[in-house]
Each structure stands twice: as C-alpha cells, then as structure tokens.
Amino acid sequence: MTLSKPSDEHRALRLPSLRAPLDLLFLFCCVILTADVLGPEIFGHGKTKDYALWFWAGQQVLHGGPLYPKITELFAYIYPPLPAILLAIPSWFGKIPLYLVLSVLNAVAWWYTGILSNAMTGSDRKPGPWLEALPAFATVTFVFDMFDLGQPNLLLLAMMLYGFWSLQHHRPWLAGFMFALATGIKMFPVAVLPYLVWRRQWAAVIGMVAFTCILLFVVPAPIRGFERNAAELNTWYQGMVASSSEKGFGQRDEQNWSWVNQSIIAVTHRLVRPINYNLDDPAKPVRTMNVIDVGYRTANWIVVAVSVLLGLGFVAVMPSRRRRTAHSDAEELGILFCLMTVASPLARQYYFMWLFLPFTVLMHRAAFDLRPRVRLGTWLALAAAGILMLLSLPPFPNAFQAWGNNLAATAVLAVCLAWHLRHPPDAASSDAPAGLKAKAA
C-alpha cells in the first residue's frame, strides 16, 4: 500500500515567478548567499569551511589520488567515495565553477524543499504566499549555514522529500533511488529504511538497498577501479562507522562529544557521564553537565533504551493502514524527519534544517485546523520550539546547546505532531478535510 495521495491542487511543482514578490525575495536571498560563497574566492583569500575540501576530493579523483590516509591517521575527507566522484566533474573546471554549482544546487534544493513540504501537509488547502514562505523564514539561519559551510544537508532533505513525494505518486522505485542517493552521499538518511519496512513499502525498500549498493560499489568502479573502491569503502567504514569508543567516534572525537553535537547519543552521554562539553576548544575551561555518573558501556545501554522507547512511541501513535489519510501521513512523516535528525550520531546545528517539514505541517495545522483551541495550542508549540532554537544564536552561551536546546525543540515538534496524529479533526464534521471525509464514508 502506498502513502495517501495529496489533493490535485498540490501536484504541480512550480518554478519561481518573477511576478511574485516573495519569489523575488527568495531569488534575491539566493544571490546574496551565493555571493557569500564566491566573494571570498574571487576578491579575498579564498572560501574557507568545507569548500576547499570538496575541491580537493574532486581533484583526488581526477588525478587518481587517495581519498583516505591510513586507518590510524585522521581523515580530512570523511564521506563515502561517491560524493568525491560526483564532485570530480565540476572540480575539473576549477574552484569558482565548483562553488557556483554547489550554490545553485543549494538554491534549487531550498526552493523545492519549500514547495514539496507545503504540498505534502495533507491539509487540502492551498496556503497563501506568507504561510507558504513562513517555514523558510523559520529555518533561514540553517539555510545560511548550508551555503556558508558548503554542507549537503539541504540537498539531502530535498532528495528525501522528493522520494516521499514519488512514493505518494506510485513511483516506489524512483523513491528508492532518491533515498539511496541521499544515503550514498551522507549515510544518516539510511535511518528511513526501518520505516519503509514497517510500512511495507517493499518496492521502495528493495530499490533503496539495490541502488545503494550500485551507487557505492558499481558507479565508482570504472573510475577508481573495483578493488580500489572496495578498499576505500572499507577504510571509510573502519574510520567512520566502526571507530566508536569512549574517547569519541567518527574521526572527530573532540567535537562529537562536545556541545556542537545535539544528537540523542551525544546529549545522553553528556547527561550521564562527566564529559567536558568544551572539548572542541582546549583553551576553554572544563565544563560538565552530567546528572549521574555511569560508565561508557552503561551510557550506551541508556542510549539504546531511549532509542527503543522513542521507536516504540512512534509505532504506537501511527494509525493503522486502513485509517491512514493524507492528513495523518503528513504528521507521520513530520515525526519521522524529527527522529531521523536526532538519531544521527552527529547532529550539528545545521542538521536541524531537516525540521523544515515538521514546521510546515504544524504551521498548516495552526492555520487551518477547525478547532480554535487546537490552532492556538499549535502556534504556542511552534513558538516554544522557535524560542528554544534561538538559544543557539551567538549571544547565548554554548551551555544551552550542550543541554540540547535544538533536541528539545525537536521533541516539542514531534510531541505536537503526535498529538495531531492521535486527535484528527472530526471526520463527521461538514467542514472536515476531504481526505478525512472519504475515510469516514
């Protein structure tokens, strides 16, 4: 069974219009953000952050150089080989063309993230331009990070959304390919696989597994050689996935236990072990926040218990297949995106760009729900989440992020979505959404 289809009025994936003021504002913002990327490279001392790394990775592929050092050495490039293969073509033309391509991809991803999110809310009502743009305003700081840092999380979000859009429109193999492509670039989207299995989306599951294997093992082989690619994949796996220890994980030990990481794993460990959350900067004083003091192994079991409880809670609020609607599917996917964001071992500030869909769904509920108290409560929940996320801004101490302000905001959104999932509008009401009425008939 595929996900419920959205209404016909939301099917068109439109392009920006030069006649729409907010679309022009979007294009203007993209130009400014692209200038932030290209300006230092053209007029300054070169763009910093991850852009130089992407150019290096592409050049390594072009010149047949290694992507990873020995397993005992620190990796500069911490992604699978596939992204380096994809970066090779624009890298051949130089840094500026590469950075321009990455900026354009971010702009396209930002636009379609908004379009797809608004189309997948299941509200059966077309939002006005301001409501349509509101989720973009709420997450604009994350978008700035995507452009400034050169990280692919916004692009991955657009891929995942398009995958679920394809699933809703009975194209499970295309959905599986999009999920696989996102996983091949940065592994944490693999967390969608258990959900697909639970919802018995077998074609998407098979497609995702098959295309992931093709993208990781087959596509790089003609360029890197099959044996060399397999060896590099093994080196990457040993260095990134199998390297977890009490000191840290994923090649960035001092960062992954510190305040910059707000994943369930990191926050739980900081709460139950005396970890210095200023590990990322040796010049800062030692600061701990643990409320109990247990060993590393016990902390891992606590993480497992918390994760299992969250998974069981998600399953408990899911409606049965016969009770699913476009309305409930939107809320279900919103919770899924919340969980995928914080379930990643590393959840830096920019990872919470993935809350775009949960924000959009709840904003539609706050605007269109038939119950005045529910609308008010939803706006209050959104405001609470927004205030928590504002605590990540530079004027506030890093301690707020160490305690997990974004993780708490994610929890607020997920709980609100779960409430809506369990308390849909009355299907018998004459004003109920069409999808609910159809289920009640």
Per-residue pLDDT of 59-107, as tens digits, reads: 999 999 999 987 777 888 889 999 999 999 999 999 999 999 999 999 9
User: b vs e for 241-254, b when ≥16 Cβ sit within 10 Å of the residue's Cβ?
Assistant: eebbeeebbbbbbe
Query: Residue 349 pLDDT more than 70?
Result: yes
Residue-wise pLDDT tens digits, 219-249? 999 999 999 999 999 888 888 876 666 776 7
Question: Average pLDDT over the chain, rounded to whole?
Answer: 89
User: Within a 10 A sphere around the Cβ of 425, how many other Cβ atoms?
Assistant: 19
Residue-wise pLDDT tens digits, 338-348? 999 999 888 99
pLDDT value at residue 238: 85
Give the Å distances, CA to CA, from 420 to 193, 260, 328, 361, 439: 24, 31, 8, 10, 17
Q: Which residues are bridge partners to 245 per DSSP?
A: 248
Average the pLDDT over each of 40-49, 187-196, 375-384, 431-440 and give the range with the smallest value: 431-440
What is the rounded distance in angstroms from the CA atom of residue 5 to the CA atom of residue 14? 18
Measured torsion, CA atoms of residues 343, 346, 348, 352, in degrees rounded to the nearest 10: -20
Residue-wise pLDDT tens digits, 393-422? 999 999 999 999 999 999 999 999 999 999
pLDDT value at residue 399: 94
Query: Residue 439 pLDDT more than 50?
Result: no
pLDDT value at residue 4: 45
Q: 148: pLDDT confidence band, cut at 50, 70 and 90?
A: very high
pLDDT value at residue 245: 67
What is the rounded distance in angstroms from the CA atom of residue 142 to the CA atom of residue 122? 25
Quick check: 4 and 114 in contact, CB under 8 A?
no
Residue spans of the domains in the chain: they are: 250-441
Residue 330 corresponds to which tokens in the numbers above? 């939107």
Mean pLDDT within 294-316? 95
What's the whole-model pTM score? 0.91
